[in-house]
Amino acid sequence: MSAIELARAVRAGERSAREIVDGYLATIAEHEPTIHAFNLVTADEARAAADAVDAKVAEGRDPGPLAGVPVALKDNLCTRGIPTTCSSKILAGWRPPYDATVVQKLAAAGAVSVGKTNLDEFAMGSSTENSAFGPTRNPRDPERVPGGSSGGSAAAVAAGFAPLSLGSDTGGSIRQPASLCGVVGVKPTYGLVSRYGLVAFASSLDQIGPFAANVADAALLLEVIAGHDPRDSTSSPEPVPRYTQSLGDGVAGMRVGIISELMGDGIAPDVRRRVEEAAEHLAKSGATVGEASVPAAMFGLSAYYLIAPAEASSNLARYDGVRYGLRVDGATTAEMMESTRTEGFGVEVKRRIMLGTYALSAGYYEAFYGKAQKVRTLIVRDFAAAYEQFDVLLSPTAPTTAFRFGEKAEDPLAMYLSDVCTIPTNLAGQPAMSVPFGVGDDGMPVGVQVLAPTLGEVPMFRAAAVLEAGAPA
Amino acid sequence: MTDTAAPYFTAKHGIAGLDEWELVVGLEVHCELATNTKMFCSCANHFGDEPNTNVCPVCLGLPGSLPVVNAEAVELAIRIGRALNCDVHSSVFARKNYFYPDMPKDYQISQYDRPINADGWLDLADGSRVGITRAHMEEDTGKNTHAGAGGRIHGADYSLIDYNRAGVPLVEIVSEPDIRSPEQAKTYVAELRTILLAIEASDAKMEEGSMRVDANVSMRRLGEDEFGTRCEVKNLNSLRSLGRAIEYEARRQVDLIVSGERIKQQTRHWDEEAGRTRDGRSKEEAEDYRYFQEPDLMPIEPGQQWVDRVDAAMPKLPAARRNALAGVAGVDPTTPAVVVAVDRQLDELAIAAIAAGGDSNRVLTHIEQNLAVDGAGGLSPVNLAELTLMETNSELTATQAKTVLAEMLTSGAAPAAIAAAKGFEAMDTGALETMVDEVIAAHPAEWADYVAVAAAGDDKKIKKLVGFFTGKIMQASKGQADGKAVNTLLTSKVGAAG
On average, the pLDDT of chain A sits at 97
Band (pLDDT 50/70/90 cuts) for residue A204 is very high
- Please report the residues numbered 267 through 326 in chain A whose beta carbons come closer than 8 angstroms to any beta carbon of chain B: 310-311, 313-314, 317-318, 320, 322-324
How many Cβ atoms are within 10 Å of A405's Cβ, its own excluded? 16
Q: Which residues pair with residue B46 across a beta bridge?
A: none
pLDDT of residue A459: 98
Position A419 scores a pLDDT of 94
Reduce the DSSP state of residue B220 to 3 states and report it: strand
The answer to whether the beta carbons of residues B302 and B74 sit under 8 Å apart is yes
Q: What distance in Å separates residue B13's CA from the closest CA in chain A?
A: 36
- Give the nearest partner residue to B60 out of A77, A233, A323, using CB atoms: A323
CB pair distance less than 8 Å for B62 and A317: no
* Stretch (H or E) spanning B240: helix B239-258
- In this complex, the residue of B97, B159, B292 whose CB is nearest that of residue A369 is B292
Enumerate the residues of chain A whose CB falls inside 8 A of the CB of residue B298.
233-234
**A375 vs B: CB within 8 A:** no
B95 neighbourhood in chain A, CB within 8 Å: 314
Residues 6+ apart with CB under 8 A from B467: none
Distance CA A131, CA A136 (A): 9
Q: What is the mean pLDDT of residues A299-312?
A: 97
When pLDDT is averaged across residues A17-23 and rounded to a whole number, the result is 98
Nearest to A391 by CA among A469, A287, A295: A287
Q: CA-CA-CA-CA torsion for B446, B452, B457, B460, nearest 10 degrees?
A: -30
Contacts of A317 in chain B (CB under 8 A): 97, 99, 105-107
Q: How far apart are CA B178 and CA B283, in angstroms?
A: 22
Q: What pLDDT, on a 0 to 100 scale, did the predictor assign at position B372? A: 80
Interface test with A, best of B52, B59, B102, B106 (most A CBs within 10 A): B106
Cα→Cα distances B468→B446, B448, B452, B460, B471, Å: 9, 13, 15, 13, 5
Please give the backbone phi and psi of residue A112, each rounded to the nearest 5 degrees, phi first.
-120, 115
Q: How many helices (H) and strands (E) does chain B have?
A: 15, 14
Phi-psi group of B61: left, alpha or beta (phi > 0 → left; psi -120 to 50 → alpha; rest → beta) = left
DSSP state of B217: E
Tell me what the mean pLDDT of segment A46-60 comes to: 98
**Predicted TM-score (pTM) of this structure:** 0.89
**Helix, strand and coil in chain B, % to nearest 5:** 40, 20, 40
Say if CB A170 and CB A426 are below 8 A apart: yes
pLDDT, position B485 = 80
Mean pLDDT of A56-73: 97
Q: Which helix (H) or strand (E) holds B88?
A: strand B87-88
* A78 in B contact zone (CB under 8 Å): yes
For chain A, the maximum distance between any two Cα atoms, rounded to a whole number of angstroms, is: 70
Taken in order of first residue, the domains within chain B and their CATH numbers are 7-312 (no CATH), 318-421 (no CATH), 429-497 (1.10.10)
Residue-wise burial string across A138-164, b where 16 or more C-beta atoms lie within 10 A, e elsewhere: bbbbeebbbbbbbbbbbbbbbbebbbb
Gap between the Cα atoms of A72 and A165, Å rounded: 4
CB contacts < 8 A, A to B, total 99
The tally of CA atoms less than 13 A away on the side-chain side of residue A407 is 17
Helices (H) and strands (E) in chain A, counts: 15, 11
Which chain A positions have a beta carbon within 8 Å of B67's beta carbon?
A: 233
Verify whether residue A149 is a known catalytic residue.
yes
Of chain B residues 264-293, which have a CB less than 8 A from chain A? Answer: 288, 290-292
Predicted confidence (pLDDT) at residue A311 exceeds the cutoff of 90: yes
Domains and CATH numbers, chain A: 3-245 (3.90.1300.10)
Pick from A86, A94, A318: CB nearest B106: A318
**Catalytic-residue membership of A395:** no
Query: What pLDDT, on the 0 to 100 scale, is given for residue B10?
Result: 47
Half-sphere exposure of B194 (CA within 13 A, CB side): 24
Any residues with CB less than 8 A from the CB of B307 and at least 6 apart, and which?
Answer: B78, B82, B88
Q: Does B420 touch chain A (CB under 8 A)?
A: no
Question: What are the residue ranges in chain B where pLDDT is below 50?
Answer: 1-10, 284
Q: What integer pLDDT is reported at residue B389 of this predicted model?
A: 92
Start-end of H helices in B393-458: 398-411, 415-421, 429-442, 444-456
**Which chain B residues are Cβ-neighbours of A197 within 8 angstroms?**
64-65
Hey, is A55 helix, strand or coil?
A: helix
Residues 6+ apart with CB under 8 A from B447: B440, B469, B497
Query: Could you confirm whether A74 is annotated as catalytic?
Result: yes
Give the Cβ contact number of residue B461 at 10 Å.
15
pLDDT for res B156: 67
What mean pLDDT do residues A188-192 have? 98
Chain-centre distance for alpha carbon A32: 20
Residue B403 has a CB neighbour count (10 Å cut-off) of: 16
- Percentage of chain A beyond pLDDT 70 is 100
Q: Pseudo-torsion of CA B152, B154, B157, B160, nearest 10°?
A: 50
Of all residues in chain A, what percent are helix, strand and coil, respectively (each to 5)?
45, 15, 40
**φ, ψ at B369 (rounded to 5°):** -100, -30
Instruction: Report the interhelical angle of B182-198 vs B239-258 (nearest 10°).
Output: 150
Is the distance from CB of A164 to CB of A217 less than 8 angstroms?
Answer: yes
Using the 8-state DSSP alphabet, how is residue A238 labeled? S
Residues 6+ apart with CB under 8 A from A334: B99
More confident of the two residues B147 and A158 = A158
Instruction: Kindly determine whether residue B64 and residue A310, on different chains, have CB atoms separated by under 8 Å.
Output: no
Looking from the CA of B408 toward its CB, the CA atoms found within 13 Å total 29
Torsion angles phi and psi, residue B269, rounded to 5: -110, 130
Question: CA A413, A418, A419, A420 torsion: positive or negative?
Answer: positive
Cβ-Cβ contacts under 8 Å, A199 against chain B: 63-64
Closest C-alpha among B137, B194, B228, B185 to residue B14: B185
* Disruptive mutation site among A322, A332, A349, A361 for chain B (greatest number of B CBs within 10 Å): A322
With the C-alpha atoms ordered A73, A319, B287, B25, is the resulting torsion angle positive or negative? positive
Phi/psi at B169 (5° precision) = -70, 135
Distance, in Å, from the CA atom of A92 to the CA atom of A97, rounded to the nearest integer, reads 15
pLDDT tens digits along A354-388: 999 999 998 899 899 999 999 999 999 999 999 99
Residue B61 and residue A318: Cβ atoms within 8 Å?
yes
Q: Which of B67, B292, B297 sits opposite A310 (nearest CB)?
A: B292
B193-204: b (≥16 Cβ within 10 Å) or e: bbbbebbebbbb
The residues near B288 (Cβ < 8 Å, ≥ 6 apart) are: A361, A362
Q: How far is it, in rounded angstroms, from Cα A462 to Cα A431?
A: 13
CB–CB contact A203 B295 (8 Å): yes
End-to-end Cα separation, chain A, in angstroms: 19
Active-site residue, selected from the candidate residues A74, A105, A187, A408: A74
Q: Is residue B404 a contact partner of residue B417, using CB atoms and an 8 Å limit?
A: no
| CA atoms of B123 and B191, how far apart (whole Å) | 9
CA distance A206 to chain B (A): 11
- Please indicate whether, in this complex, the C-beta atoms of B64 and A334 are within 8 angstroms of each other: no
Note whether B297 contacts A233, CB cutoff 8 Å. yes
Number of C-beta neighbours around residue B423 at 10 A: 8
> Is B57 in Cβ contact with A361 (below 8 Å)?
no
